[in-house]
Structure 1
Amino acid sequence: MTLVNFRDPAALADPEGRWIRPGVLHRSAQPYPADDAAIVEQLNAAGVRTIIDLRGDSECEDADWARSRAAGIEVVAARVQPTGPGLEAAMKDMATDADLGLFYLLMAESAPEAVKLAVEAAARPGALLVHCAAGKDRTGWLTALLLDLLGVPAEEIVADYHRTTAALPQIFEGLAERNRAALNDYHAGSLTVPRPLLEAPAGAMAAFLELVDARYGGTEGLLAHCGVDAATVEAFRAKAAAGATTAGVTA
């Protein structure tokens, strides 16, 4: 079974190649039930050499990426825990799309080491895949930050995030099969998953980008807050920006 919602944002967010070098950045949901020969073939066909896994410790299983690792694809565990100080309270109070955007910023702020590790991995030579569990929330805001570094307009970043909507039924079916206690029985009924988290609303990503600008002056400010240095940002741009002359996308 191939990866659900696997796509290159450049294909639809930037079909004219104005900002993103095609084939550098891919996103998806987690492998289900685990990676297999079809997924390895899918990744190899896309030239993926590095997988950035944003899931928390309790969400991962040893077999998830075993076949891909054996095939020589590196998996970087950049753990962003889905719950923690402040996050559960924010989830409990979540009612609007803008609340979800704030939740995304809180997640990023709660995991500076993971953000740093992820961006450093994104700057390595070769194409990359970013994923979490659903491939929507953590994948969404990290992909948004990377696209913003390349100068992709906010409206295109928002549109790319919202495209996950079409894949949500298949994504949630896989999540429920893997963890039947999840979704609206989260933490043994102690926390109901709010409506925005079950969608990919454009307003959430728009709010996230606005908050990043308001609090940090833009993506580079947030990444610096997380410990990402300027050299790493420039290395990613040199690899992924449209018109880049580096051979950094090759294996």
Structure 2
Amino acid sequence: MAVLNLRTLAGGRLLRGSQPFGLDAAATSDFLARHGIQAIMDLRSELERSMVPWLVPNGAGVPGGTEVPDGTEVPNGAGVPGGTEVPNGAGVPGGTEVPNGASVPASLAPNAGGEPAAVVRPAVELIHNPLDPNAVAGSLRAIETPQDLGNLYLTWIRARPEWVADALRPAAQGRRTLVHCSLGKDRTGVVSALALLAAGASEDDVVKDYTATTVNLPDMLQVMAETWRLHVPSTPAQYFSPELMVLQSPEAAIRHFLASFAREFGDARDFLREAGLTSVEVSALRD
């Protein structure tokens, strides 16, 4: 199996795709190395991740990776050595206490000269930045038209603008990043659309990228249905019917989203700055 619906955006710094269907640890390592991936931005909920986890060496932690400059923040709650979690975006100066009273590991403590030691980052950083569609916008079964689907996307970015900024931050900081959800269609499609707009792409370019998913949907839905039945045998087959609008990627849906986004938010670069990216990071998406 593989990461499906895979393609490259933003000059190669950003890749989009599905979850890693059926990849064991060896296949995962091969896939990541082959595509030069430095960060994985996982947009799935905890339940979704539990069914199809990433088997990344040191995936949830930081040990064994590449050193980064002193004072660099650990993004989006990446683990620190020993498995201790640091709150989202929190820096790790020497002596800082982290949740549950766990002290910062010795590798992060000040060195003999009193300066904080370098933070260690894994060769491939696995970042969890979840958005649960049902939790944010209610039942997906209410999606009946392309306009409903476009409005669903708007609901997500209205409620969680920082979620988009967090999803694009590694790529904006220069790391080759795979952004994905389950099918790599909706959550990934929204993030990809705003990345493309910020990079200067035209509306037609965004539409072409979004609708490219359509040809991949039959295979992905079959694999997704098998995955759910394996973990939740009672899952009705009709939940993965290609007739459901929420499982399609029609041009009208993304055009509705783009037109509504432009009316409500204006320029994508301004939106991303207000959502939390720096001006330098937003500009880097164009490079």
Please give the TM-score of this superposition, normalised by the length of structure 2. Answer: 0.69
- The answer to whether the aligner puts 1:78 opposite 2:129 as a matched pair is yes
Q: 1:183 to 1:88 in 2, by over 3 A?
A: farther
Q: 1:2 to 1:229 in 2, by over 3 A?
A: same
Higher relative contact order (CA 8 A, sep 6+): 1
Q: 1:35 to 1:203 in 2, by over 3 A?
A: farther
Aligned to 2:185: 136
Choose from 48, 69, 74 the match for 1:59. Answer: 48
Quick check: 131-140 or 163-172, which moved more? 163-172
Alignment of 1:176-195 (within 5 A): 176-180=225-229, 181=235, 184-185=238-239, 195=244
Aligned to 2:254: 205
Aligned to 1:159: 208
The Cα offsets for residues 89-140 of structure 1, whole Å up to 9 and x where unpaired, read as 6x34422212211111112222233223212122122311110001000001
The separation in 1 between residues aligned to 2:157 and 2:8, in whole angstroms, is 22
Q: List runs of 5+ in structure 2 lacking aligned partners.
A: 60-121, 230-234
The Cα offsets for residues 218-250 of structure 1, whole Å up to 9 and x where unpaired, read as 21243244333323212333xxx3xxxxxxxxx
The separation in 1 between residues aligned to 2:175 and 2:272, in whole angstroms, is 21
Alignment of 1:1-251 (within 5 A): 1-9=1-9, 20-21=10-11, 23-61=12-50, 64-67=53-56, 69=58, 72-85=123-136, 87-88=137-138, 91-180=140-229, 181=235, 184-185=238-239, 195-237=244-286, 241=287
CA RMSD, Structure 1 to Structure 2 (Å)? 2.5
**Secondary structure at the counterpart of residue 30 of structure 1:** coil
Specify the code of the residue in structure 2 equivalent to 1:143. S
8 Å CA contact retained: 1:92, 1:194? no
8 Å CA contact retained: 1:34, 1:64? no
Query: Which structure has the greater CA radius of gyration?
Result: 2
8 Å CA contact retained: 2:2, 2:22? no
The separation in 2 between residues aligned to 1:129 and 1:98, in whole angstroms, is 28
**Secondary structure at the counterpart of residue 50 of structure 2:** coil
Distance apart, 1:27 and its partner CA: 0.9
The separation in 2 between residues aligned to 1:154 and 1:212, in whole angstroms, is 12
Distance apart, 1:35 and its partner CA: 4.8
Specify the code of the residue in structure 2 equivalent to 1:4. L
**Secondary structure at the counterpart of residue 134 of structure 2:** coil
Specify the code of the residue in structure 2 equivalent to 1:153. S
The separation in 2 between residues aligned to 1:193 and 1:120, in whole angstroms, is 33
Q: List runs of 5+ in structure 1 lacking aligned partners.
A: 10-19, 187-191, 242-251
Q: 1:221 to 1:32 in 2, by over 3 A?
A: same
Aligned to 1:15: none
Q: 1:205 to 1:117 in 2, by over 3 A?
A: same
8 Å CA contact retained: 2:173, 2:281? no
Q: 1:69 to 1:209 in 2, by over 3 A?
A: farther
Please give the TM-score of this superposition, normalised by the length of structure 1. Answer: 0.78
